[in-house]
Amino acid sequence: MVLTIIVIAIIAIIAIFLMTSYNGLVKYRNWVQEAWSQIDVQLKRRHDLIPNLVNTVKGYAEHERETLEGVVEARSQLVNGSPQERIDADNQIEGALKSIFALSESYPDLKANENFLNLQEQLTTTENKVAYSRQLYNKTVADYNIKLQSFPTNIMASMFNFKQEDLLSIPEEEREVPDVSF
C-alpha cells in the first residue's frame, strides 16, 4: 500500500517535471519568435520610409546620387533573406543614412525642410527600435539556449527536437546607440 503510494508519487513528480520543462521550452521558443517579429516589423518600416527620404533629398542634392543609390540598393535586402542577411543590410543602410543626415549640414534648405526633419526623426527612432529589439532578441535567444543545454531540460529538448537558435552578430561599433543630436 505504502509502496504503491510512493511509486505513484514518484511518477507524478516526474510527470510534473516533464510537463513544466516542456512548457518552459515552448514558452522560450515563442519568446524568441516574438522578439524576431519585433525586429521584422521595424525593418519593414525602415524599408517603407526610405523612398520618401530619397525623394525629399533628391530635390536638394541631385549630385549626391551615389549615396542615395547605395541606400536604395541595400533597401530591398531589408525585407528579404535570412535574419543575419537582413541585419547586415540594416547595418549597411545605417552607415549610408548617417552620411545623408550629415549631408544636410551643407544644404541649409534641406536642413530646414519640415518633411526631411520629420523623416530623419522617424528613421532614427526606427533604427533605435531595431537596435533595442536586436538586443532583446539576443538576450532571449541566450536564455533559451541556456535552458536548452542545461541538465535535465536538455533530455526533454532532444526528445522533442528543440533546436538551438543563433545569436545575431553585431559589428563592434554598432553596440552603442547612435549618438544623434539635433
Asked if residue 48 binds another protein (CB under 8 A), the reply is no
String of contacts with another protein for each residue 115-134, x by CB under 8 A: ---x--xx-xx--xx--xx-
Asked if residue 85 binds another protein (CB under 8 A), the reply is no
Q: What are the backbone angles phi and psi of residue 27, rounded to the nearest 5°?
A: -60, -50
Contact partners, residue 81, CB within 8 Å, separation at least 6: 89
CB of 125 to another protein, least distance (A): 3
Query: Cα–Cα distance between 134 and 60 in angstroms, integer?
Result: 34
Cis omega before residue 152 (within 30°)? yes
Counting residues that bind another protein (by CB under 8 A) gives 19
Displacement of CA 173 from its chain's centroid (Å): 17
CB of 48 to another protein, least distance (A): 16
Angle between helices 83-103 and 2-60 (to 10 degrees): 30
50 vs 156, beta carbon nearer another protein: 50
Q: Which stretch binds another protein (CB under 8 A): 47-55, 83-91, 102-110, 171-179?
A: 171-179
CB of 19 to another protein, least distance (A): 25
Q: Which stretch binds another protein (CB under 8 A): 106-114, 148-156, 159-167, 174-182?
A: 174-182
Asked if residue 20 binds another protein (CB under 8 A), the reply is no
Query: Residue 125: enclosing H or E segment and its boundaries?
Result: helix 114-149
The three cell numbers of residue 25 are: 521550452
The three cell numbers of residue 140 are: 532571449
Q: Would you say 94 and 120 are in contact if contact means Cβ atoms under 8 Å apart?
A: no
Residues at the interface with another protein (CB under 8 A): 38, 118, 121-122, 124-125, 128-129, 132-133, 135-136, 175-177, 179-182
